[in-house]
Amino acid sequence: MFKIQNILLGFIFLSITLFSACSNDSKKEPTDTATSGEVNIVVDESFQKLFDSQIYTFHAIYKNANVHVDYLPENEALKRLINDSCKVVVMCRDITPTERKSFEAKNLFPISTKIAEDAIVLLINPENLDTALTVDQVKSILLGNDSLWSQLNKDSKLDGIKVVFDNAGSANARYMRDSLLEGKDFSKNVFAVKSNPEVIEYVSTHKNAIGVLSVNWISDIDDSLTTNTLKKVKMVAIAKNSASEPLKAYQAYIKTKEYPFTRSVYMINRQTRAGLGMGFVHFVAGDKGQLMILKAGLIPAIAPVRLVEVNIE
């Protein structure tokens, strides 16, 4: 009888243990859908203004959705995506074949969605006399030829050009280093602060500074932050070469790529199931999200943009 009781108790204990294990496993199953639940995303700091608006609107439409966002440098964003600390990242490039292989080694197949065309702008102090630079001149400045402004500003006392980025690991710094300098190191006159607002503040208080930002920080003229920023700094026009007309980063010139410093913006989603991460990507790539991108001064990747040429005689 005693043995039978022990067997019965053992069977009951085993059943409870298995049931608990099954219950715990079921708790680990994802419960989010395309329009509800929670998801962690990381956005490159360059696009904080834009994605604050995107997330606010998404939450207003889908009351049961909660998108948690961190605004970080591009290199940190990618690390978090690989380590599964977030499901979606927003970057100014697609993942490389080598990076994709590291995902595939974990049996993960991230989906890249191009959402916009962006531009890097150079900002200067309002008292600076120069308003235009060529691509070669920008390159010379980044490599340390800071005597350039002594020639450009003959009537000023400017010397020692300082170039300031938002973060040493940001997409802005990587773009300029890789695309313009072909991988060469920045000169000692180039440094980084900790945020985009700090770039604007530094330029507004230093006559010899050039700030490097995404155009969306200064392009939404209906935004009070933009109008206040444009009182503190001004945008430099960039010419592809000495024979070209200097152009500012207006949407028409970004669309046609006549403005030199343009780049694509991607949302990379490792959540290949129909969860909230995928739902948010679809929202940004959809009509409402693309209209918000257009309003922010970028070029929507999916919605059509009409360019109108006006002849004034």
- What pLDDT digit, counting tens, does each position of 264-277 carry? 999 999 987 889 99
Spell out the CATH class of 37-117+263-300: alpha beta
Q: pLDDT tens for residues 109-119?
A: 899 999 999 99
Q: Do domains 37-117+263-300 and 119-262 have the same CATH topology?
A: yes
The predicted pLDDT at position 230 comes to 82
The predicted pLDDT at position 158 comes to 53
The predicted pLDDT at position 147 comes to 59
Q: pLDDT tens for residues 122-152?
A: 999 998 888 899 999 999 999 987 656 655 5
- Into which CATH architecture does domain 119-262 fall? 3-Layer(aba) Sandwich (3.40)
Of 200, 220, 224, residue with least CA distance to 297: 220
The predicted pLDDT at position 139 comes to 94
pTM: 0.81
List of long-range contacts for 193-199, beta carbons under 8 Å, 24+ apart: 193/164, 193/165, 193/166, 193/167, 194/166, 194/167, 195/45, 195/166, 195/167, 196/45, 196/46, 196/48, 196/166, 198/166, 199/123, 199/164, 199/165, 199/166
- Taking 50 as the pLDDT cut, the residues of the chain under it are 2-27, 312-313
Domain chopping of the chain, boundaries = 37-117+263-300, 119-262
The predicted pLDDT at position 274 comes to 86
